[in-house]
Amino acid sequence: MKNKIMAGCAALVLSVAAWAAVAQQDAPPASGQGDNQARHEQMMQRHMDKVAQELNLTDQQKPQVQAIMKSQMEKMRALREQQEAQMKQLHESMQGELAKVLTPDQMTKLKSMHDHMGPGHMGGKHRHGGPEGGAPPPPQE
């Protein structure tokens, strides 16, 4: 019985983590912040409904599980924001160190190379696979 409970908890945690990853990846830019918040809440409610159905949660368990999931999501969001801030600081530090070694022309060319690579390289949101999830672009010569 204890193993079933642990397996259920593990499945719930994995489900929340997977949902969080998908929610962040599918989120539109911050310009539609209000719409994004409403969409986020709807997505979370659909996910909660599915979890409640799959786990056959009682009416007493539903709000408890939802509160736990919401709390964990907020903690994960805060951690992600902290990591993004640290990554930005590391990137800025690297740029400063490179500027001490490279010529201004080389720095300009490096920036151009990174701009050409697109988001995910040197400071943008990282997505594996290249444009639209396809293969990476061919190398330029």
What percent of the chain shows pLDDT beyond 90?
42
What b/e readout covers 52-68, taking b as 16+ CB neighbours within 10 angstroms? Answer: beeeebeeeeeeebbee
- For 141, the 3-state DSSP assignment is coil
What's the mean pLDDT when you consider all of the chain?
Answer: 76
In this prediction, residues 96-117 reach a mean pLDDT of 90
SS in 3 state form for 26-65?
Answer: HCCCHHHHHHHHHHHHHHHHHHHHHHHHHCCCCCCHHHHH
Pair 79, 86: CB distance under 8 Å: no
pLDDT in tens, 58-99: 999 999 999 999 899 899 999 999 999 999 999 999 999 999
